[in-house]
Structure 1
Amino acid sequence: MKYVIIGNSAAGIGAVEGIRQVDREGSITIISDEPYHTYSRPLISYLLYGKTTEEKMKYRPDNFYRENGVEFIAGVRAEKVD
């Protein structure tokens, strides 16, 4: 099976984890218009005030995509689904 997830939010990461629970072999691609690793948007204000770090804002470790066999296409906006 081939899976395409549009958006690199907590919901997208949850989708990857859910898919991997039932399908270890299917290909997963995440397309995100942001060029960043998945992060907690509510923590942006804490980062600006110096109360957290970029590393602590991440939902999952840097190796999350690789460990789950995810192709992460960052900085590209999905225009349509074919």
Structure 2
Amino acid sequence: MELADRAVGFLLSFISLTIFTYYSLWVIILPFVESEHFIHKYFLPQEYAILIPVFVGVVLLCLLSMFIGFVMLKSKKKKA
């Protein structure tokens, strides 16, 4: 099982590093590159640099709130 845990950990680290690198290049470097450069076709429009993280944050916050509410309801039923 230890090998499977290492593989999953490596995969998650690789995915996280890839997303971080893509987002960093997109937000920090790309505004300084000419708009006619070929590299722009590999990135989404600049507006999405704000919309995507906000949307993901709202979804995660909603899921966390639902989980906490579910746990509170379940613990309330056990006491009664």
Structure (1/2) with the larger helix percentage: 2
TM-score, with normalisation over the residues of structure 2? Answer: 0.23
Larger radius of gyration: 2
TM-score, with normalisation over the residues of structure 1? Answer: 0.22
Structure (1/2) with the larger strand percentage: 1
